[in-house]
Amino acid sequence: MSKRVESSTDGSDLRIGIVVAKFNEFITDKLLEGAEEGLAGCGVSADAITIASVPGSFEIPVVASKMASSGVYDAVICLGAVVKGDTDHYEFVAKEAANGIAQVALKYGVPVVFGVLTTHTVQHALDRAGGRKGNAGHSCALTAIETANLIRNLS
């Protein structure tokens, strides 16, 4: 008979790190607000959350790595907003942020949740930061909690 390992959205005993980019702050502030609401709604206390602000999305992986390797956090949420412009800069930043975040999660075995919006317009980003498409920050909070609990249950 197979064994099924379940997760839960109970975050009452979890410690969460959040790395949030200051670039496009009018968007990332909304993502952060959504993440904090999601965490609180699942029982994560405010004193169990550490928020680190970085200049932009490119800098997220190095700080996420520091948090994930510390042994302090059960999960790390990465929040940013990269909006396509007239140059190739968007492609480089978005790709390296995504690759770096994925590498951190695999290296340390800690859930490192990708909450970096990569959109073609500011409006698309706002739609995903509390607008008509919901709040990606809130979704990331739930993902972090469920994945951290699943990893605990696998141990």
3-class SS letters over the chain: CCCCCCCCCCCCCCCEEEEEECCCHHHHHHHHHHHHHHHHHCCCCHHHEEEEEECCHHHHHHHHHHHHHCCCCCEEEEEEEEECCCCCHHHHHHHHHHHHHHHHHHHHCCCEEEEEEEECCHHHHHHHEEECCEEHHHHHHHHHHHHHHHHHHHC
Catalytic residues: 89
